[in-house]
Amino acid sequence: MLRHLDVAHDRFGLSTPFRISRGVKTAADVVTVTITQGDVTGRGEAVPYARYGEGIEDTIAAIRAVAPAIADGACRKDLAALLPAGAARNAVDCALWDLEARLAGRSVAALAGLREPVALPSAITIGLDTPDAMARAAAKVATVPLLKIKVDRSDPAAQIAAVRAAAPTPRLIVDPNESWTIETLETLKPHFLDWRVDLLEQPLPAGEDGALARFDSPVPIAADEALHTAADLDRLAGRYDVVNIKLDKTGGLTEALMLANRAREKGFGLMVGCMVCSSLGIAPAMLLGGQAAFVDLDGPLWLSEDRPGGVTDHEGMLSPPAPGFWGSLA
């Protein structure tokens, strides 16, 4: 039976601006794919990211270009030859997973041989701001299990110290989003243990991270922008301890599952992350959450209004979407 693919640009306003070292977002612009076979429809979502040379229009064009192949029966295993790793492939891959599960009358977790998603401690992100403003934001969520703070090169010591003083108990991820230099790392190194930093995420630009091989870090370092697919793992060895898997980088759940397996085989710890997106982008990623030491899937929590039936948060514990939302039966 022929399949029909539709693709659309959806925009979700944010309740507060999301600031990182590269800029500020006030809305989440996502690409939504629906693939219909008969009276059954699967959905997927992706966030094109300018850092990787992606935009809404070119992502939609790439998806439309493969619509005839999807209509003729191309499956998830065919996508790697049709689309490069990235947002376009992610949206199509996740829509195909959802469609396949609904046609089979089983959940995506069951098809993938994974346990069904459960509530997980997921990072609550403190956006980049003045140290005082970051401390006030941290104080409001000081009892959650895990915090992630966005910092830059302006005054990271004050930013981190302010958040830690306001929230002394949560585990702590520090994310400079490639904004530091090796000199910044060396300067801050003596303080990481005092601040009880649990993970340092992508401190140096991805193209300049060779210096990490010579840096004796007192805390684990995670690769984010430096990691896209399993093909990157050998290059990251000796530089990073943890890899941050995001479906928008891997090109969907199919590659993400393979990446997770290979990363563990090579001795990397796992983190699962996301862009600022709706729950449709988070539901597939939650299937990886049970395998990860660090889960950072709070993207929908920044939205003024999420898709109905999406994930919910209670004091830093992220619960899966309602049954039937994505990848599960109603």
* Residues involved in catalysis: 150, 246
Separation of alpha carbons 221 and 218, rounded Å: 9
Instruction: Write down the H helix ranges in 178-309.
Output: 182-188, 233-236, 247-250, 253-265, 279-289
Separation of alpha carbons 74 and 77, rounded Å: 8
What are the φ/ψ torsions at residue 33 (nearest 5 degrees)? -115, 135
Lookup: tokens for 200? 């340092």
Q: From 170, 165, 166, select the one nearest 140 (Cα to Cα).
A: 166
Q: Are 168 and 194 in contact (CB under 8 A)?
A: no
Separation of alpha carbons 128 and 156, rounded Å: 10
The position carrying tokens 């039966």 is 329
Separation of alpha carbons 92 and 240, rounded Å: 30
Checking phi first, is residue 318 left (phi over 0); if not, alpha (psi -120 to 50) or beta?
beta
Residue 160 to residues 54, 114, 125, 201, Cα–Cα distance (Å): 31, 36, 13, 13
Residue 201 to residues 204, 240, 318, Cα–Cα distance (Å): 9, 9, 21
Lookup: tokens for 196? 């009880």
